[in-house]
Amino acid sequence: MEHFDVIVIGGGSAGYAAARTVRETHQRVAIVDNSDELGGLCILRGCMPSKTLIYSAEVLHLAQNGRLFGLDIPSAKVDMPALHQRKTRMIDDFKSYRQEQLASDRFTLFRELGAFKDPKTLKLSTSGKEITADAFIIATGSVVNFPNIPGLELPGIWTSDDVLDLSELPESVIVLGGGVVACELAQFLHRAGSKVTQVQRSPHILKEESPEAAEVVMKAFREEGMDLHTGTKLGKIEKTDTGFSVEFMEGAESMRVEARHLVNALGRRPAIDNMNLKAAGVTLKPNGQIQVNEHQQTSNPKIYAAGDVCGPFEIVHIAIMQGETAARHATGRPADPVNLDTRTSVVFTDPQVASAGIPVEEAKARGMELIEAEYPFDDHGKSILMEAKHGYVKAWAERSSGRIVGAQCVGKDAGELIHALAVGISMGATAKDLLKVHWYHPTLSEIWSYPLEDIADGVS
Ligand SMILES: Cc1cc2nc3c(=O)[nH]c(=O)nc-3n(C[C@H](O)[C@H](O)[C@H](O)COP(=O)(O)OP(=O)(O)OC[C@H]3O[C@@H](n4cnc5c(N)ncnc54)[C@H](O)[C@@H]3O)c2cc1C
Ligand SMILES: NC(=O)c1ccc[n+]([C@@H]2O[C@H](COP(=O)([O-])OP(=O)(O)OC[C@H]3O[C@@H](n4cnc5c(N)ncnc54)[C@H](O)[C@@H]3O)[C@@H](O)[C@H]2O)c1
C-alpha cells in the first residue's frame, strides 16, 4: 500500500495551496482529484470566467451610455461568439498554468474520487487502490444546490456553469436567487441584452450584506431596467412551449413569469457525496459543511478541511489561507489561524459591494462601542465626473481608540477601493493613522478621508 506524508483530496484553490505548502517541508504529497478537467472552481467555472464576462459587460454599458460623457457612439452591442472566445482564451491560459503545477513531479496525482475506508485509508474509485497517509486535507469544494422546489429538477434548467459558457445571447432568462452568483450573472445577462427577470426570496438581495448596501444595488438594477422581484415564495416551475414558467407569491400577490431559459442560482452545498466521512470520524455542521477548528482540523485531528467544503465563507482567498493553515499545522509547523476579523469580500455587480473587517452589526453584538461615519459618492468630485454617483463609503471604529474595525464601500470599483481600508484594518490602524496617507486628488480613493476625519474628530 502506498503511504504519503499528506494526502490532499481536491485540487482546487484550497487543495493546491495546501499541497504546495506541505511540499515545502515534506516529499511524499498526493493530490486526489476526480474532475474531468483540473483547475478548480475559481479558474474553470467561478471567479475568473465570471469576472471576464462581467468586465466586458461593464465596458459595453459605458459605451451604450456614451451620451452621458459627451460621446457619440452610434451603436454598441455584445458579440457573444467573440465574448465567449475571449473568455475561453483567458481561462485556457489560467487553467493550463494550474494544470502544469498539479501534474508536476512535486506531487503524486490521482485522477479519481477519494472515499475513506477508515480514518487512515483512502480508497480510490476507479482503480480500487488504497492509499494511506499521516494526515489528510479535504478540499473538495462545493456543488450547485437543488432545493426542494417543484420543477427545479426539470431538464434544461441552467446553473452558473451554463451561463458562463454561453456563445449565443439568450432572448430571455429568469434567474432564481438573490445571492452573489444570481446578482452578478443576472446583471451580466441584462447588460449583454437578454430580458432578465430575477426572483429573490428575502426582502432584499445579497442578504449577507447590509440592507443599506443591497438597497443601492437594487435601485441600480431597477434603473437599468431589470425586472427584480423580492420578498417572494417560490411555487412551481413548469416547462412551457417556449421555455419555462415560474409561479411565486410576492407578498400577498400571486405571480407567474415566463422566459426561454431559467437559471438555478439558489446556492451551493459542500461536495462530500460518496466520501464516507463517517468512516473517517469527520463530523458536519448543521448546514452540512465540515466542522473544523481554528487550525482547520476536523473532529478527527489527523484530518483537516479547507475551502468551500468547510466554509464559513466561500471565497477563494479564504480557501487558500485555510489550505495553507491546514498544511502548516498538519506538518507540525506554526500555523496562524485565518483571521476572519480582517476578512474582505467583494460582490462584482455594478455598483459593487465591498466590505472589510468585522461587519458593523457583528461588532456591536460583540459589545464594541463604535463610531460610524459615511460619505456618499454623489457628493464627491471624482465620482461625479465619472458619472458614478451610486453608493457610499462607510467606516466604523472603536470609540475609545479610533482603531478601524470595519469598512464598507458600495459604488464603482468598490472592490479596488476597499483595499485601502483593508490594509489599515489588517494592520490595526486608527483613523488618525490613515489620515497620514497622501490621499491623491482627484481620485475615488480620497473619498475615504471624509469618514476618517469624522471618526478621528469623534474619538473619546
Ligand atoms: C459563478 C461563481 C463565481 C465566483 N466568483 C468568485 C469571486 O469573484 N471571488 C471569490 O473569492 N470567489 C468566487 N467564487 C467562489 C470561489 O470560486 C470558491 O470559493 C473557490 O473556488 C473554492 O475553492 P475550493 O478549493 O474550496 O474548491 P474547488 O475549487 O471547487 O476544488 C475542489 C476540487 O475537488 C474535486 N473533488 C470534489 N470531490 C472530490 C472527491 N471526492 N475526490 C476527489 N476530488 C474531489 C473537484 O473536482 C475540484 O477539482 C465564485 C463561485 C462561483 C460559483
Ligand atoms: N464575488 C464573489 O466573491 C463571489 C461570486 C460568486 C460566488 N461567490 C461565493 O459563492 C457562494 C455561493 O453563492 P450563491 O449565490 O450560489 O449562493 P448564496 O447562498 O449566496 O445565495 C443563494 C440564494 O438562493 C436563495 N435560496 C436558497 N434556497 C432557496 C429556496 N428554497 N427558495 C428560494 N430561494 C432560495 C437565497 O435566498 C439566496 O438568495 C457564496 O457564498 C459566495 O461567497 C462569491
What's residue 159's pLDDT?
A: 98
- Cα 47 to middle of ligand 1, angstroms: 9
Q: What is the mean pLDDT of the chain?
A: 97
Amino acid in the structure at residue 136 = F
pLDDT for 177 equals 98
Closest CA to 98 of 25, 5, 8, 14: 14
Burial-class residue 132 by CB neighbours within 10 Å (0-12, 13-18, 19+).
middle
pLDDT value, residue 438:
98
Residue pLDDT, tens place only, 167-177: 999 999 999 99
Q: How many Cα atoms are found within 13 Å in the side-chain-facing hemisphere of 86?
A: 14
Residue 256: how many other CB atoms lie within 10 Å: 11
Q: Which of 55, 36, 45 is nearest to 13 (CA)?
A: 45
Model pLDDT for residues 68-91, shown as the tens digit of each residue: 999 999 999 999 999 999 999 999
The residue whose C-alpha atom lies closest to atom 26 belonging to ligand 2 is 266
Lookup result for grid cell 448543521: 286
* Dihedrals phi, psi of 173, to nearest 5 degrees: -145, 135
Task: Using pLDDT thresholds of 50, 70 and 90, give the confidence band for residue 1.
Answer: confident
The pLDDT score that the predictor gives to residue 233 is 96
CB-based burial label for 145 (10 Å; 0-12, 13-18, 19+): middle
Q: Name all residues whose Cβ lies below 6 A of ligand 2.
A: 147, 149, 177-182, 184, 200-202, 234, 265-268, 313-315, 346-348
The ligand 2 atom nearest the CA atom of 149: 31
Judge contact between 32 and 9, C-beta under 8 A.
Answer: yes
Top CATH class of 2-144+269-340 equals alpha beta
> For the whole prediction, is pTM greater than 0.80?
yes
Ligand 2 centre distance from Cα of residue 48 (Å): 17
Calculate mean pLDDT across residues 209-226. Answer: 97
Backbone angles phi, psi at 294, to 5 degrees: -65, -20
Give the span between the Cα atoms of 374 and 84, in whole angstroms. 40
Ligand 1, CB within 6 Å, residue ranges: 9-15, 32-35, 40-42, 46-47, 50-51, 113-114, 139-141, 160, 181, 271, 275, 307-309, 314-317, 319, 348
Q: Which is the closest atom of ligand 2 to the Cα of 266?
A: 24
- Do the Cβ atoms of 405 and 358 come closer than 8 Å? yes
Catalytic residues: 441
Ligand that comes closest to the CA of residue 269: 2
Q: How far apart are CA 218 and CA 234, in angstroms?
A: 20
What are the Cα distances from residue 238, in Å, to 241, 249, 258?
10, 16, 9
**CATH for the stretch 341-458:** 3.30.390.30
Going from N- to C-terminal start, the domains of the chain cover 2-144+269-340, 160-266, 341-458
Q: How confident is the model at residue 460 (pLDDT cuts 50, 70, 90)?
A: confident
For the segment 322-347, what is each residue's pLDDT rounded down to a tens digit? Answer: 999 999 999 999 999 999 999 999 99
Class of domain 160-266: alpha beta
Q: What is the pLDDT of residue 373?
A: 98
Residues 114-133, mean pLDDT to the nearest whole number: 97
ipTM: 0.98
CA of 262 to the centre of ligand 2 (A): 16
Ligand 2, atom 21, lies closest to the CA of 179
Q: Do domains 160-266 and 341-458 have the same CATH topology?
A: no
Q: Please state whether the peptide bond connecting residue 451 to the residue before it is cis, i.e. omega within 30 degrees of 0.
A: no
Nearest ligand 1 atom to the CA of 313 is 19
Q: Average pLDDT for residues 92-118, to the nearest whole number? A: 96
